[in-house]
């Protein structure tokens, strides 16, 4: 009767400990200590996260942390969880404080509310007051309230003190949150019914980096303190905050079946509530609790759920799929339709428009998806709120294919995917489907498959077929009927299909084999004939890791399926632990040129990344060259070097690594790659589609505004000798405005012109304005542009506005179509319906473009593009180049939005 225990629980504000920046404004010296504390907090978070792996798989823990963190917003910081602590649980204060401190140290800030019933009863009895209850509600006279207030304050301070001893900041909040009227003054005395909640004290506490600890005392509008049942107060608080989790901590650790005594793992109220309330063993307190839980969840979004758990098992409940207590959620009712019309065409179209990755990336249109569906019989599966929609194509006599699996965030969070999957398996004894090789839920697919092929960043899964030869026969039938593009099956003996998510020594699921697919019927497109994709684990050495770009690259490498960061060099930070990298502990070293030469000679790393200021990387590159020459086979067997500075962007022996514009094949074959500049990347992406349409003799102009992280960092020392990095340009120094700089001759101006010129035929005349010194000769760069940079008071993100003179009259739609054709299939490019804004680019790994407008004469177009200067403008682009040069899928380890 009751659902199985496979669950995903929880969500959080997902924030590291933050000391408010206003202190840095008042006293700049405090900036160092703030950054030191943030670094310590990040180290604590990394350590605690690794400890969490002991209670669940790494994938489970990281997925839950991502889900918790993704819903955080500074305007609503109190939306992770409301945790209600029963008075009996307060007697286990050490265990309780440890569990709450655990959450705090991974950056999660629950709102904590406690009762104190048992403690209150003890004191009341000791003072000769006889407890009186009516309808289960404690009658509260003035003496009882006086004692209750004292007890609540004492228990509140005990919990705050226990948390502070563990280094967890906590703030006692004993008034000012709950406003109440008398429930029934004559009947119950000083007992309140909550009428209003002021969440500002809670949010202020979390913004200050402290857990808010509440008592269940309220005030009437005229200031009278009233007693409120703690469970009811928690429920009203949850209705106001709409958290992902409402957690009730009790001694038993869950709800239990009244006959068998077994713990109830999951209760789906929409499906089970009516039947449960009829069960003879559901009575008294259990019936009351279920009714209260249902009334509460009916007021909340479907993403919210209730958990009943013990303090000791709180982490297992929140961070594992199996959980540990009882999870109560509204649930879902499933449907199955044989046509779009029976589901509702508008509803289905909206889901495709909002969630289909092929549509979002521009590979297909909504109309194209619907047209494809008409060519074969299909069944649509899902739940009533459409948190998950799946489409299975099943031509008569052929193997069915799951062409669409489109979950919303709530569908993943509330485990609707598993229930829809169960319905599909019930109808189809065999099935094929695909998923991205770097899909964060890839383990989910492996757990449900009998085998898989992987190729060019895509995996084909199946169940119900045990013979690999038959799988290959089915795949070839798909090819012949046009259901997928030509595949690249491996040559040689077939390997047994893998079963479940078993891992090989390289970290790749065992039994996987190569496979590629097309955009048709939900398979992802392969834009070029794919080269063999490596799954070998390789090592990266990072020189110059203390800056923002080095930190961003460290974070990306931490999630890369095959690359390991083996050496990180920073002269100032040598000997300190590297934050943000969770695969293995790494300590900063101070590598000399001799060290690099020896390591290269002995083959200790497969790739070097130079993240040093302009001019500083040359000695290390020469050291790599010398080491490579001493290897067997010479430089051809040496490591790949990707340089992030401007030192080699004009060198003929180096490959310029901008895959979207200058091709992938040269990067795949390269050993020395210069990473483009951030401004230059966006400028070139804006101008490149129009190189054939540029007006000769007139400069295209690009105005770029970057966040202050683009200026880099400097090392600063606090009065106590603590060393940390600070921005060269602080947001305070900008006073809320922007600061133009390097108004002419910026190096990105020449960089963009030089490489854009390579897009013109060798015989094409120069488009650059004539200059006296060019008299009688052809200029080296056929395209030149004017570039004007500025720095803004935000952290990261570049907005580039290009004004481009045209050789003929064109309208905005023509220009937009040219861009769509030029960037068709490019996963790192986002075409925007309007002007890209900072919120579209900050923290994103892609380049966005939009806002196409032409002048009234049609001979000039203005276009806006944007990217994050630390990501697509630096670290993400570096990882694209590393992936290509080392033989991986280009997008491995890149969480494309």
CB within 8 Å of 626: residues ≥ 6 apart = 597, 600
Q: Where are the domains of the chain?
A: 22-244, 334-522, 538-647, 678-771+779-871
Neighbouring C-beta atoms of residue 677, cutoff 10 Å: 24
Spatial separation of the C-alpha atoms in residues 838 and 849, rounded to whole Å: 12
For 537, phi and psi rounded to 5 degrees? Answer: -75, 130
Residue of 406, 578, 678, 702 marked catalytic: 678
3-class SS of residue 267: strand
CA nearest 372: which of 227, 273, 519, 269? 519
The torsion defined by the Cα of 504, 509, 512 and 518, in degrees rounded to 10, comes to -150
Query: Is residue 678 flagged as an active site residue?
Result: yes
CB within 8 Å of 254: residues ≥ 6 apart = 263, 264, 308, 309, 310, 324, 325, 326
Spatial separation of the C-alpha atoms in residues 340 and 349, rounded to whole Å: 9
3-class SS of residue 703: strand
CB 750 within 8 A of CB 766: no
CA nearest 727: which of 17, 24, 20? 24
Q: What angle do CA 289, 112, 303 make, to 5 degrees?
A: 60
Instruction: Provide the mean pLDDT of the chain.
Output: 80
Following DSSP, what letter does each residue of 193-216 receive, concatenated? EEEEE--HHHHHHHHTT-EEEEES
pTM, to two decimals: 0.47
SS (H, E, C) 88-113: HHHCCHHHHHHHHHHHHHCCCCCEEE
Instruction: Give pLDDT tens digits for 728-773.
Output: 677 777 888 888 888 887 888 889 999 999 998 877 888 888 665 4
SS (H, E, C) 547-566: CHHHHHHHHHHHCCCCEEEE
CB 84 within 8 A of CB 113: yes
Pairing of strands 431-436, 401-407: parallel
For the chain, the residue count is: 897
CA nearest 607: which of 807, 879, 863, 398? 879
Looking at domain 678-771+779-871, which of 1.10.8.50, 3.20.20.70, 3.30.70.100, 3.30.360.10 is its CATH number? 3.30.360.10
CB 679 within 8 A of CB 751: no
CB 582 within 8 A of CB 59: no
* Assigned token pair, 246: 């409402």
Q: Which letter, b or e, does each residue of 602-635 get, where b requires 16 or more Cβ atoms within 10 Å of its Cβ?
A: eebbbbbbbbbeeeebeebbebbbbbbeebeeee
CB 869 within 8 A of CB 798: yes
E-strand ranges in 401-486 read 401-407, 431-436, 451-455, 458-463
Spatial separation of the C-alpha atoms in residues 348 and 376, rounded to whole Å: 17
The torsion defined by the Cα of 760, 762, 768 and 770, in degrees rounded to 10, comes to -170
Q: What is the pLDDT of residue 282?
A: 87
For 567, phi and psi rounded to 5 degrees? Answer: -140, 135
What CATH code would you report for 22-244? Answer: 3.40.1160.10
Following DSSP, what letter does each residue of 351-400 receive, concatenated? HHHHH-HHHHTTSS-HHHHHHHHHTS-EEEEEETT-SEEEEEE--TTS--
Handedness of CA 438, 440, 444, 447 (dihedral sign): positive
Q: What is the pLDDT of residue 325?
A: 86
CB 461 within 8 A of CB 451: yes
CA nearest 564: which of 577, 583, 546? 583
CA nearest 337: which of 327, 329, 347? 347
Spatial separation of the C-alpha atoms in residues 884 and 873, rounded to whole Å: 17
Does the domain at 538-647 match CATH 3.40.50.720? Answer given as yes
- Low-confidence residues in the chain, pLDDT < 70: 1-76, 320-322, 332, 361, 413-415, 437-441, 455-458, 482-533, 632-636, 711-728, 770-779, 897
CB within 8 Å of 873: residues ≥ 6 apart = 677, 678, 679, 681, 682, 798, 867
- Cite the DSSP H helix spans in 414-467: 416-427, 442-448
CA distances from 346 to 342, 366, 370 (A): 11, 11, 12
Instruction: Give pLDDT tens digits for 681-726.
Output: 999 999 999 999 999 989 999 999 999 887 665 555 555 555 555 6
Architecture of the structural domain at 334-522: 3-Layer(aba) Sandwich (3.40)
CA distances from 776 to 338, 698, 753, 757, 781 (A): 73, 20, 21, 20, 15
Task: Give the HSE-up count for residue 406: Cα atoms under 13 Å, Cβ half-sphere.
Answer: 25
Q: What is the pLDDT of residue 29?
A: 35
């Amino acid at each position: 009767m009751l659902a199985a225990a496979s669950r995903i629980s929880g969500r959080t504000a997902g924030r590291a400990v933050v000391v408010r920046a206003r202190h840095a404004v008042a006293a700049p010296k405090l900036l160092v200590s703030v950054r030191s504390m943030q670094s310590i907090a990040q180290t604590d978070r990394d350590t605690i996260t690794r400890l969490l792996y002991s209670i669940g798989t790494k994938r489970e823990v990281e997925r839950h942390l991502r889900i918790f963190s993704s819903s955080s917003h500074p305007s609503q910081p109190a939306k992770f969880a409301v945790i209600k602590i029963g008075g009996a649980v307060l007697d286990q204060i050490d265990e309780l404080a440890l569990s709450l401190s655990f959450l705090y140290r991974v950056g999660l800030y629950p709102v904590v509310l406690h009762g104190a019933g048992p403690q209150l009863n003890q004191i009341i009895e000791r003072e000769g007051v006889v407890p009186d209850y009516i309808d289960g509600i404690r009658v509260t006279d003035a003496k009882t309230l006086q004692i209750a207030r004292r007890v609540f304050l004492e228990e509140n301070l005990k919990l705050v003190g226990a948390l502070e001893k563990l280094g967890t900041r906590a703030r006692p909040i004993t008034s000012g949150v709950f406003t109440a009227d008398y429930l029934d003054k004559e009947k119950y005395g000083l007992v309140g019914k909550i009428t209003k909640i002021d969440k500002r004290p809670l949010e202020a506490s979390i913004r200050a980096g402290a857990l808010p600890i509440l008592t269940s005392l309220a005030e009437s509008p005229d200031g009278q303190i009233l007693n409120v049942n703690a469970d009811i107060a928690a429920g009203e608080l949850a209705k106001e905050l709409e958290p992902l989790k409402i957690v009730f901590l009790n001694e038993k650790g869950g709800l239990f079946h009244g006959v068998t005594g077994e713990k109830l793992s999951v209760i789906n109220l929409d499906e089970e509530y009516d039947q449960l309330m009829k069960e003879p063993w559901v009575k008294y307190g259990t019936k009351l609790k279920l009714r209260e839980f249902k009334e509460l969840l009916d007021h909340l979004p479907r993403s919210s759920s209730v958990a009943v758990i013990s303090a000791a098992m709180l982490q297992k409940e929140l961070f594992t799929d199996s959980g540990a207590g009882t999870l109560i959620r509204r649930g879902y009712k499933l449907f199955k339709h044989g046509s779009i019309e029976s589901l509702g065409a508008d509803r289905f179209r909206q889901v495709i428009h909002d969630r289909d990755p092929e549509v979002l990336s521009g590979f297909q249109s909504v109309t194209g998806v619907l047209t494809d569906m008409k060519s074969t019989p299909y069944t649509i599966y899902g739940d009533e709120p459409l948190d998950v929609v799946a489409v299975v194509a099943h031509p008569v006599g052929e193997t069915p294919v799951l062409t669409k699996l489109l979950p919303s965030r709530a569908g993943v969070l509330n485990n609707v995917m598993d229930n829809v999957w169960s319905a599909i398996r019930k109808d189809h004894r065999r099935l094929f489907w695909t998923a991205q090789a770097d899909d964060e839920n890839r383990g989910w697919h492996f757990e449900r498959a009998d085998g898989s092929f992987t190729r060019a960043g895509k995996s084909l899964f199946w169940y119900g077929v045990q013979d690999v030869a038959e799988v290959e026969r089915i795949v070839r039938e798909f090819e012949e009927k046009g259901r997928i593009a030509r595949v690249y099956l491996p040559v040689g003996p077939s390997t047994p299909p893998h079963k479940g998510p078993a891992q090989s020594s390289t970290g790749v699921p065992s039994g996987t084999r190569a496979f590629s697919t097309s955009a048709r019927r939900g398979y992802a497109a392969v834009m070029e004939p794919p080269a063999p994709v490596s799954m070998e684990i390789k090592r990266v050495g990072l020189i110059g890791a203390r800056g923002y770009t080095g930190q961003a690259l460290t974070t990306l490498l931490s999630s890369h399926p095959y690359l390991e960061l083996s050496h990180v060099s920073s002269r100032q930070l040598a000997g300190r632990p590297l934050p943000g990298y969770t695969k293995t502990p790494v300590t900063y070293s101070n590598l000399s040129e001799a060290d690099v030469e020896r390591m290269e000679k002995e083959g200790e790393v497969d790739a070097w990344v130079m993240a040093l200021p302009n001019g500083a990387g040359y000695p290390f590159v020469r050291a790599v060259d010398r080491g490579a020459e001493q290897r067997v086979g010479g430089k051809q067997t040496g490591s790949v070097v990707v340089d992030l500075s401007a030192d080699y962007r004009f060198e003929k022996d180096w490959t310029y690594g901008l895959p979207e514009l200058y091709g992938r094949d040269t990067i795949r074959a390269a050993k020395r790659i210069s990473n483009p500049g951030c401004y230059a990347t966006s400028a070139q992406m804006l101008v490149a589609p129009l190189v054939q349409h540029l007006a000769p003799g007139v400069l295209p102009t690009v105005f770029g505004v970057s966040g202050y992280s683009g200026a880099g960092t400097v090392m600063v020392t606090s009065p106590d000798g603590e060393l940390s990095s600070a921005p060269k340009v602080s947001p305070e120094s900008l006073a809320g405005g922007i600061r133009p700089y390097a108004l002419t001759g910026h190096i990105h101006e020449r960089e963009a012109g030089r490489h854009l010129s390579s897009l013109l035929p060798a015989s094409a005349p120069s488009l650059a304005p004539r200059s006296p010194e060019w008299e009688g000769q052809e200029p080296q760069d056929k395209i030149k542009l004017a570039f004007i940079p500025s720095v803004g008071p935000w952290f990261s993100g570049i907005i580039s506005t290009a004004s481009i003179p045209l050789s003929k009259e064109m309208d905005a739609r023509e220009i937009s179509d040219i861009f769509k054709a030029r960037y068709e299939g490019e996963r790192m490019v986002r075409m925007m319906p309007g002007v890209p804004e900072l919120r579209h680019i900050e923290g994103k790994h892609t380049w966005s473009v939009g806002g196409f407008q032409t002048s009234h004469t049609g001979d000039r177009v203005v276009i806006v593009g944007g990217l994050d200067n630390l990501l697509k403008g630096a670290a993400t682009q570096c990882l694209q180049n590393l992936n290509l040069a080392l033989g991986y899928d280009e997008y491995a380890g890149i969480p494309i939005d």
